[in-house]
Amino acid sequence: MSTVVINRLQAKRRSARLALNVGVRLNGQDRQNCAFTLLPARATNLNRHGAAIQVGRELLLGSTLSMRHGRGGIETAARVVVQVSTGQGKFMYGIEFVDSNGTRDFWGIAFPPLEGKGAPAQLAEQAGITRRRQAVPAIR
């Protein structure tokens, strides 16, 4: 991916990403319109508005899933917006919450505000990530 594309993606980002892994369960329909319930998945690169999810089924872009947090059981609707990668029977998708205001606390994490790209903003973001990593229990 070129630097220009990366910079455009960063400019469009609505909140900071956190490189954490969270177990989630999904309900919905896959690419072949087969319904699934409580399908286990891993959410990574969490942000206030969604995440990347790794799942063992091929999903349809634009479809809406019901996603339940592995801890706490909070449930919300999420839309599949992009297929990131595929391989060895695993599919990685970018998802966004359908109601981003109503799901601000879905992850149970305080996200730092997205600021300018200067050194003070980077230091503040790194400090915030370090604080949250200590507060979030390890997922087994």
Domain presence at residue 140: no
- 3-state class percentages of the chain: helix first, strand second, coil last, to nearest 5: 20, 40, 40
- pLDDT for the residue 43: 93
Mean pLDDT of the chain: 75
- Please tell me which residue, 72 or 138, carries the higher pLDDT value: 72
CATH of the domain at 131: 2.40.10.220
13 — pLDDT class (breaks 50, 70, 90):
low
pLDDT (0 to 100) of residue 12: 59
Burial of 19 (0-12, 13-18, 19+ CB in 10 A): exposed
Structure tokens at 133: 């990593």
Residue 81, domain extent: 3-135
Decide: pTM greater than 0.85: no
Confidence of residue 78 (pLDDT cuts 50, 70, 90): very high
Number of structural domains found in the chain? 1
Tell me: the pLDDT tens digits for 62-76? 999 999 988 777 889
Give the C-alpha separation, 110 to 114, whole Å: 12
